[in-house]
Amino acid sequence: MKPVLYIVIPCYNEQEVLPITSVQFEEKVHSLIEKGKISDKSKVLFVNDGSKDKTWNIIKDLSERSDVFEGICLSRNRGHQNAVLAGLMEAKDLCDITISIDCDGQDDINAMDEMVDKYLEGYEVVYGVRSKRDTDTFFKRFTAESFYKIMNFMGAEVVFNHADYRLISKRVLQEFANFHEVNLFLRGMIPLVGFKSTSVYYERHERLAGQSHYPLSKMLSLAFDGITSLSVKPIRFITGFGVLVALLSFIGVLYSLISKLFGHTVDGWASMTCILCFVSGVQLISLGVIGEYVGKIYLETKQRPRFIIAERTYQEKNS
Ligand code: UDP
Ligand code: MG
């Protein structure tokens, strides 16, 4: 049986670019079907993320014109990550594999052939990785690459230069559905699910039309969401900083006591300095300790699965 592929595409105010790229997606699906790699029931699933322009009308027209196109419309704008998730969750019961990709033509759709090949070789997740960023401006490239470096430094493991262009199998999506968290950072969460994964490389193009919805401010907030939803490292930094301040305070206390002994001080200075040093050190360490517990509570509230079984040597009872 050939796998049914759903290409999941989030769209937000994309009326300029959709008429151009939808044709390319359609051709891609047809060519993959012709090459015998995927089932002829494969489709392109658009997710309209509460667009304020004609995007949803275009999607409806497309789905009337061709069987390849389907669409879902979110009740309001929920942001890129939520839109992708909505599409993936919708698709998971209808297909065997999904590929998520932006609708602006920036990611090379020809990488899909290799992605599907990798799936057929037995990989469950295939990450699309940008091999170079020549077409991005220096500023975009610099901020984007710093983004990945800072993320990894802060303990949120992400595949370098991989955005949300990836193939995910139905199997992984079914397990991923058990991750109930509200703060989404898909590219950091999918690796948590595990299973066999690999990467394919492609060149990133310029946007075909329309404008980017990811200005620096949104990128920063995505990075912040990513770090805080995947890692409690920032809390550790506070604890570490607290210990450092406590050590310095200890030296400060010694210094003020010695100064007092040698009589170089005015009345009250040594006691004030001692109290100040002591309290500031204790305060920061305490904050760090409380933070550790808050961090634990935070991770508990996500109720992520504690393990996922990939294979058994025996048949499961209910299957
Ligand atoms: N997008 C979305 N909801 C939003 C913002 C963006 O669904 O609130 C979609 C958008 O239509 C596009 C993808 O997410 O398909 C990536 O957005 P964009 O190309 O603007 O980001 P960039 O590639 O510049 O980082
Ligand atoms: Mg884009």
CATH number at residue 71: 3.90.550.10
**87 touches ligand 1 (CB under 6 Å):** no
Of the pLDDT bands very low, low, confident and very high (cuts 50, 70, 90), residue 314 is: confident
In a domain, 220, yes or no: no
Longest dimension (CA), the chain: 92
Distance 83 CA to ligand 1 centre (A): 10
pLDDT over 70 (residue 133): no
**77 touches ligand 1 (CB under 6 Å):** yes
pLDDT over 70 (residue 165): yes
Regarding whether 132 and 61 lie in a shared domain, the answer is: yes
Regarding whether 286 and 178 lie in a shared domain, the answer is: no
Regarding whether 174 and 187 lie in a shared domain, the answer is: yes
In a domain, 222, yes or no: no
Amino acid at 229: S
- State the average pLDDT for the chain: 88
More confident residue, 158 or 169: 169
The string of pLDDT tens digits covering residues 186-215 is: 988 899 898 999 999 998 887 777 787 777
Which of ligand 1's atoms lies nearest the C-alpha of 13? 11
Distance 253 CA to ligand 1 centre (A): 55
pLDDT over 70 (residue 228): yes
Of the pLDDT bands very low, low, confident and very high (cuts 50, 70, 90), residue 318 is: low
- Say whether 197 sits in a helix, a strand or coil: strand
Regarding whether 206 and 135 lie in a shared domain, the answer is: yes
Regarding whether 310 and 295 lie in a shared domain, the answer is: no
Q: Are 103 and 17 in contact (CB under 8 A)?
A: yes
**12 touches ligand 1 (CB under 6 Å):** yes
Q: For residue 319, what pLDDT is reported?
A: 58
Regarding whether 59 and 133 lie in a shared domain, the answer is: yes
Q: For residue 68, what pLDDT is reported?
A: 94
Q: In terms of residue numbers, what domain contains 94?
A: 5-215+305-318
Q: For residue 83, what pLDDT is reported?
A: 95
- What is the side-by-side strand order in the sheet with 197-202? 69-73, 43-48, 5-11, 97-100, 162-169, 125-130, 197-202
List all residues 6 or more positions away from 172 whose beta carbon is below 8 Å from its beta carbon: 124, 125, 190, 193, 195
Q: Give me Rg for the CA atoms of the chain.
A: 26
Residue nearest to atom 17 of ligand 1 (CA): 213
- Residues 126-149: what's their mean pLDDT? 81
In a domain, 268, yes or no: yes
Q: For residue 308, what pLDDT is reported?
A: 82
Whole-angstrom Cα distance, residue 216 to residue 189? 22
How many helices and strands in the chain, by DSSP H and E? Answer: 10, 7
- Residues 216-241: what's their mean pLDDT? 83
- Say whether 168 sits in a helix, a strand or coil: strand
The string of pLDDT tens digits covering residues 49-80 is: 999 999 999 999 999 999 999 999 999 999 99
Percent of the chain predicted with pLDDT > 90? 46
Task: Give the chain's length.
Answer: 319
The string of pLDDT tens digits covering residues 77-98 is: 999 999 999 999 999 999 999 9
**222 touches ligand 1 (CB under 6 Å):** no
Domain count, the chain: 2
User: CA distances (Å), 22 to each of 45, 87, 108, 180, 202, in order?
Assistant: 11, 16, 14, 32, 20
Regarding whether 287 and 192 lie in a shared domain, the answer is: no
Percent of the chain predicted with pLDDT > 70? 98
**231 touches ligand 1 (CB under 6 Å):** no
Best mutation site among 102, 147, 211 for ligand 1 pocket (most ligand atoms within 8 Å of CB):
102
Which of ligand 1's atoms lies nearest the C-alpha of 163? 25
pLDDT over 90 (residue 101): yes
The string of pLDDT tens digits covering residues 167-190 is: 999 999 999 999 988 888 898 889
In a domain, 31, yes or no: yes
pTM of the shown model = 0.81
Residue 5 pairs in a beta bridge with 97
Residue nearest to atom 12 of ligand 1 (CA): 102
- Say whether 315 sits in a helix, a strand or coil: coil
For residue 144, which ligand has an atom nearest its CA? 1
The string of pLDDT tens digits covering residues 250-305 is: 888 888 888 888 887 788 878 888 888 888 888 888 888 898 888 888 888 888 88
